[in-house]
Amino acid sequence: MGLEPSAEPAGDSVDPEATVKLSPSQASISARGQPDLPLPEELTTMLPGGAYKVESFLGQGGMGAVYKGAQVRLKRPVAIKIMRRDLGRDYDFEARFEREAQAMAKLSHPNIVSVIDFGEAGPDYLYIVMELVDGADLMDVIRGGQMTQEMALTLLPQICDALQFAHDHGIVHRDIKPSNIMLTRDGRIKMADFGLAKRLDTESTMHTKTGTGMGTPDYAAPEQFDPNGHIDHRADIYALGVMIYQMITGTLPRGAWKSPSERAAVAPQWDDIVSRAMQSDPADRYQQASEVKTDVTSIPLASTARQDRQPEAKASPRAVSAAPTKTKSRMPLILGLAACAVVASVGALLMTKKPGVNAAAQTSQAPSSAPARENWEDLLREPTQFAFTGGAKRTSDGIRIERGGTARLDIQKLAVRDGALRMHAVFGSKIQLRLREKDNQGQYWLHVSNSNQAILGRRDMLARKDTPLTVFTLPRTLKDGDEYEMELRVVGPCITAKFDGEPMGSVLDELYADGSLSVGTFPDNSRPAIIKSLEFLDLDNTASKARIKSSPQAAPFTNSLGMKFVPVPGTKVLFSIWETRVQDYAAFANDTKREWKDPSVSSRPPATPVTKVDITDARAFAAWLTDRERSEGRIGAQDLYRLPRDHEWSCAMGIGDREDPAKTPAELSQLLPDVYPWGTAWPPPPGAGNYAGEEAAVQLPDGKPFSRSQITGYRDPFATSHAPVGSFAPNALGLHDLGGNVWEWCDDLMATAGQEYVKRGGCYDNSDPDALRSASRRAGFLNSVGFSTGFRLVLESASPGLTKNDIVAPTFPAKGAPFTNSLGMKFVPVPGTKVLFSIWDTRVQDYAAYAAARPGMDDLWKKQEKEGVPVGREADHPVVRMTWEDAQAFCAWLTEKETAEGKLTKGAKYRLPTDAEWSTAVGMPPEQGATPQERHFKNEVDFPWGKDWPPKGKAGNYADESFHKKFPKPDVRDPEKTTNAWIAGYDDGYATTSPVGAFPANTQGLYDMGGNVWQWCEDWFDDSHKHRVLRGGSWNHDARGNLLSSNRAYAPPASRNLNYGFRCVLAQPAD
C-alpha cells in the first residue's frame, strides 16, 4: 500500500499451469536473456528475401518461440514461429516442426489457424509463418471464470466443425486442449498447434513412440499411453470430451470423476455427451466429431440443470449455471487486445457481453477537453500525506526511493472509483501506478517494464496472480536517468494508459468497480526510483452518476462481424464504437447480392468506413444484420440494429443534455456555436480526428498540387482519404470518429415537413468550423450518396438480461423509425406519408402464420397454379389469389396479435395503403383528381423502374421470356386470348411469382412496387363503391398501359385472381 515495494512484482510472475504461454513482459526478458533466441531485429535479417519484418517477441514454450511480425509486401500482421534444429534432433522435432507446417497448410478452414509460409531461417532455425489470431485461448477463459454453458453451446459446434474438417483430410490433431483453441475478437474459434498432428493413411502405423507425440496427459486418450496402441481420429474425440467437461464445470475429469451435472448446475444432456466421448474403448466413443456437434446443438440455450440434485458444494466457482443469476449473467466474451499467436497466447482479455445486464455505470462526460482544464491535485505538495521508511525520503527533486525503502500514501483520502493518477519520474527501478486497489481483492496497475515496453494489468490479491491486460510499445526507448510521464486512468469499465501525455491504448474490464489508489516500486539498489511529481484527478462526478443510475444501460457487446457496441448514457441503445466498415458491408453485399452504388468502394481497405451508401442501403444493412443475428441466437427476438436517432447521436457526442429534443434537427443545428467533438478550442488539438488539415497540401501522382481549404495549424496523417476506424482516440464513452472521417446518417428528417434526412459528424474533407461543430447537421435526400457519407449502427436491446425495472413499456414502433415485426416483416417510413410501408408484399410464410391461428380455414390459398404450374407456393414468394377481404382480415389479426404481445403501441394498426400513399411510395409526382378513377392513367410516362419502355435489366417480375417459355400456348382458361402475351426481349428469370426482394428496391427501400402481384389498396375505385383498387401490375402482365405507375386495376372486394396479393402498412395511433 502506498509508495512501497512489492514482494511479487506485478505482471512478471509465471503462471505455473501454463505449458506454452508467456506474458509479454516475460517474453521480452527471455528474448534478451537467452542467447539461443534471436532478437526481433536479428530474426528479420535471418528470414529469406526481406519478406517479413519481425516486430516483437510474443512467447515461448517447448522447443519453439513465437514472434509478432508483418508480411512486408501484403502489409498484414503475422505470427512467426521458430525452432532451433539442434534442440530437437534427439526427438525428431525437426520432422515434427515440418509436419506441423505441412499439416496446417492442407487445412483451409475458417476455424483453423492458417499457414502462410514455411522454411529455414539461417543455419540454426526453422520457421512457420501463420495468421496472427487477435484474441485469447479457451484456457484463459476457463481460468478467468468466464466460461458459461451458453458460451460452450456457441463455441463447441465451431470446434467440432474444425476437427471434422481435419479428420476428413486425414489429419489427427493429437493435442486437443483449451490452450490450443483460440477465440477471436468476433467470437470465432481458431484451432491451433498441429505440432503433434499426423497423417491418417494406410502407410502410417499411427503408433506412439515412447515419450513423444503423446499430447497433454490430462487430455490424452488411453491408447496414447500404450507404446503399441493404435491411434486414430477418435483420440481427438476423447480429448474433446475432456475439454467439454472442463468448459462446463471448470475442472478436469480426474480419477473417479463425477458427471457434469453432479459437478456443476448444467443441463443433464452434457452427462451423456461427455461419457460417450470419453469411453476407454475407441469403438464405444463417438465415431465422428460431427456426431458430437449434433448432440451439442440439440441442447437448447434455455435448458435448465437438474433440480433434484444440487451441484457439489466444492465445485469450482467457475462453473456457471444454465440459468444464471443476474450477477453471473454479466458474462463477458473474452477478447484479446494483444495479438495471440499459435503457441503463445499473449492476449489481454477484454470484457464484451451480450446485450442485457446493466454494466458498471459509465460516466456521462462532455467531450474531452484540453488537459490544462482538468483539475489535477498535486499529491507532493503536502509532505504530511506520506509516511517514509527505510531508504525513502523527500528531496528537492520529489521522492527518492532506494535500498528497499517505502513511502506510504494516505489512501483513505484518495479513495476512488473513477479517476486518474499521473506521474513524472526518472527511469530506473520500476514504479507502478495502481487504481481501484482493495486489500482483499485486487487492483489495476501500470508500469514501464523495460526500456521499450509498458504493461497494463490486473492483480488478483487472493490468488496472488497478475494478469497482463495489454502491452504497449513505448514511442521512445528509455535509458537510465531519462525522464518520462505515465498516466493510468479508470472511467467505468474503461482503463486507459498514457505515456508522455499521449494515449497508448485502452481496455475494458469490470472486475474491480472501486477502491483506492497507490504507487508501488520494485527497488534496485543500483537504480533508485525517483518520482518528481505525482498528481491525482477525481473523475467521480456525483451528478453524472445520478443520471446514469436513472438510465439503465445494457452491457458492451461484440457482434458476429466484430462490430463493437457500448452503452451511451441518456439513451436506451448500444452504439457501435466505430463507423460501419467496408468489410462489414461486404459481408452484407455478398450475402444479399446487393449491388454496390460504386464498385470501387468494395476494393478499399477493409477497415475503412464504407461510403457511397444512401440511407436505404444503411437501413437494409441494419435489417439484414438483425435477421442474421436473431437467427443465430446472438441477439433476442426483440433486439434490432438500426441507425441512431438524431438525439441519440447528440447524447453520444456529449451534448444531449444541452439540446431540446422537441426541436427539429434543423433548428438544433444552429445552436452551441463553440462546442466541438474535441472540446472548445480552435484549431483542433493534435490527434483530434480525420479532418482537412495542412496535410492536404500534398502532391498528387500527376505532380499537381491538391487544392482544398485547410485547417491552419492542424495536421493528421490522412491527406485525401478515409482513415481506418479507430485510428484516433475515442471520446469519453469509447466511441471513435464521432467527429471527422465520414458524415454519418441518422434516421430523422431534418425538418418536420421535409424529405431530407440528417447527417452528423463532419468528414475528412471539412475544414469549416461550422461543419465541425458538435451540433452541426447536414441534410441528404433518401437516395443521395457521397464519397464522404457513411453510417454507424446502434443496437436497441430488450434481451432477458435486463431487469423488469430496466425495460421501458413497449412503444413499437417509434415514430418514423424502421420496424421489424413478429413475423419478420420489415417496415420503413416513406416521406410524404404518415405510415410505415412493408418493404415487400405479404409472403406465403406470413399468411401461413395467420391461417394457423384460424382453425377451420380452407387451404385453397396453398394450392394455386396456372395451367398445371404451381404459383405462389414457396414460403418467400408473395401469397396469391387474395381478396380485399382476405387482406383486411390478415391486417386485423396481426394488429390484435402484436398489441396483445406488447409489440405495438395501443392504437397502432396494420392496414392496406391508401391509393395516395401507394402513389407516393412508388415515387410518382403529385396527382390530380379526387378519386382513384380520376387519377387513373393520367400519367403516361412513369413506370416503377423509370421512363424506359420496354423495361431493361432487372426492372421487376412481369410476363417475360421466361413466362413465354413456360406458357407458350394460348391460355386454355381464357378462350378470348389467342396467346399468353409477353414482353419480347425482356427476361427477368421467373415464369410465375418470384421471391420477395429478388429485384432491386426503389429509392424508398421498397421491393416489387411494380410486378410480382397486384396489390390491394384501401380505397373504392369510384363513387359507386363497387370496386376496390389494385396497383402495380404482376408477373402475368405485359401491356405497357398495365405497367404504368398511374394504372389502377379494380375489382369487387371478394374477387380472387392468381395475380392478386397485398402489401401492409403500419399506421401510428395518431393516424
Q: How far apart are CA 106 and CA 108, in angstroms?
A: 6
Nearest to 957 by CA among 1005, 919, 995: 995
Single out the catalytic residue among 175, 418, 614, 915: 175
* Cα pseudo-dihedral 92, 95, 100, 106, rounded to 10: -150
Cα separations in angstroms, 322 against 28, 241, 261, 266, 855: 41, 19, 10, 5, 37
Q: How far apart are CA 490 and CA 507, in angstroms?
A: 10
3-class secondary structure, 897: helix
Nearest to 351 by CA among 836, 734, 753, 777: 734
Cβ neighbourhood burial of 72 (10 Å; 0-12, 13-18, 19+): middle
Q: Is 175 part of the annotated catalytic residue set?
A: yes
Nearest to 369 by CA among 23, 732, 69, 83: 732
Q: Residues near 497 by Cβ (< 8 Å), separated by ≥ 6?
A: 446, 454, 456, 472, 486, 487, 488, 489, 503, 504, 505, 506
Q: Which amino acid is at 810?
A: P
Tell me phi and psi for residue 910, to 5 degrees: -90, 145
Q: Kind and range of the H or E element at 334?
A: strand 332-336
| Residue 212, C-alpha cell as written in the block | 513423444
Q: How far apart are CA 423 and CA 484, in angstroms?
A: 8
Within its chain, how far is the Cα of 29 from the centroid? Answer: 35
Q: How far apart are CA 434 and CA 6, in angstroms?
A: 12
Q: Which residues pair with 789 in a beta bridge?
A: 743
Q: Which residues pair with 487 in a beta bridge?
A: 422, 498
Strands of 189-191's sheet in order across: 135-137, 181-184, 189-191
Within its chain, how far is the Cα of 629 from the centroid? Answer: 11
* Secondary structure string (H, E, C) spanning 176-219: CCHHHEEEECCCCEEECCCCCCEECCCCCCCCCCCCCCCCCHHH
- CB contact at 8 A, 672 and 774: yes
| Residue 879, C-alpha cell as written in the block | 401469397
Q: How far apart are CA 945 and CA 262, in angstroms?
A: 65
Give buried/exposed letters for 705-725 (b at 16+ CB in 10 A, else e).
eeeeebbeebbbebbeebbbb
Residue 81 is labelled as binding a ligand: yes
Helix-strand-coil percent breakdown of the chain, rounded to 5?
20, 25, 55
Nearest to 57 by CA among 75, 41, 73, 36: 41
- CB contact at 8 A, 355 and 797: yes
| Residue 531, C-alpha cell as written in the block | 518520482
Q: How far apart are CA 81 and CA 99, in angstroms?
A: 14
Q: How far apart are CA 899 and CA 918, in angstroms?
A: 25
Q: How far apart are CA 507 and CA 125, in angstroms?
A: 36
- Residues annotated as catalytic are 175
Residue set of the binding site? 81
Residue set of the binding site for ATP? 81
